[in-house]
């Protein structure tokens, strides 16, 4: 039962992180990316998923870089 919950949370985090690439509004983009990354990070630290960890970590790193660029772009203006 716990494995089903962790897998569903993992899928939710993936959907939020992937959906952040298609959101145009910067506020919702930030919220979706931060929530998705925190879900993926917490699920991957709680459960051990041998398959897909590399893709999840790379997705978190890509979203982190995009958020960093977004925050620094807004600070410069």
CA nearest 47: which of 20, 13, 18, 17? 13
The answer, yes or no, to whether residue 2 has pLDDT greater than 60, is yes
For 66, the domain range is 2-76
Tens digits of residue pLDDT in 41-66: 888 777 666 656 667 777 778 888 88
Domain count along the chain = 1
pTM score of the predicted model: 0.66
Count of Cβ atoms closer than 10 Å to residue 29 Cβ: 19
Tens digits of residue pLDDT in 8-47: 888 888 888 888 778 888 888 888 888 888 888 888 777 6
């Amino acid at each position: 039962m716990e494995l089903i919950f962790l897998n569903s949370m993992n899928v939710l985090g993936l959907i939020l992180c992937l959906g952040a690439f298609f959101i145009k509004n910067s506020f919702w983009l930030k919220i979706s990316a931060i929530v998705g990354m925190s879900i993926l990070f917490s699920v991957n630290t709680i459960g051990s998923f041998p398959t897909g960890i590399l893709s999840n970590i790379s997705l978190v790193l890509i979203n982190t870089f995009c958020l960093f660029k977004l925050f620094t772009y807004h600070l410069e203006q």
